[in-house]
Amino acid sequence: MRPILVVEDDLQFREVLRSLLEDEGWPAEFAADGRQALAWIARQQPALLILDWVLPDLDGQVVAAGLRTTHGEEVPILLMTADGRAAEKARQVGAFAFLHKPFDLAELTQLVRGGLAGL
């Protein structure tokens, strides 16, 4: 199975996500910013992209566009944001789902499972 790519700038939250994904047995890679994410995407196609919208350099929209340019529409995107316009942003990037921070980790697990299964 290809790894899930998680793009999240908050180190503590990245570690929570790392533990969760490892506990589920899902291989995962992590990027702390948009530039790291785009470099990773250029080398490999993720099974799923878990994408924070607000990043320190390039925002989630730029990362999603880079993913689509490189790998087309087949990689599912799960968008995370603390912004009140999560649904609108998810539509902008073609995400199959979104989570408004803070969120329940069980909900994240359920969405990842669905995204990997093709919903």
Q: Could you tell me the CATH number of the domain that includes residue 34? A: 3.40.50.2300
Instruction: Look over the chain and give the mean of its residue pLDDT values, rounded to a whole number.
Output: 95
For the segment 40-94, what is each residue's pLDDT rounded down to a tens digit? Answer: 999 999 999 999 999 999 999 999 999 999 999 999 999 999 888 889 999 999 9
Q: Say how far apart CA 54 and CA 3 lie, in whole Å.
A: 22
Largest CA-CA distance found in the chain, in angstroms, rounded: 34
How many structural domains compose the chain?
1
Per-residue pLDDT band for 118 (boundaries 50, 70, 90) equals confident
What is residue 22's predicted lDDT score, i.e. its pLDDT? Answer: 96
86 in Cβ contact with 98 (< 8 Å) = yes
Please give the residue range of the domain that contains residue 29: 4-116
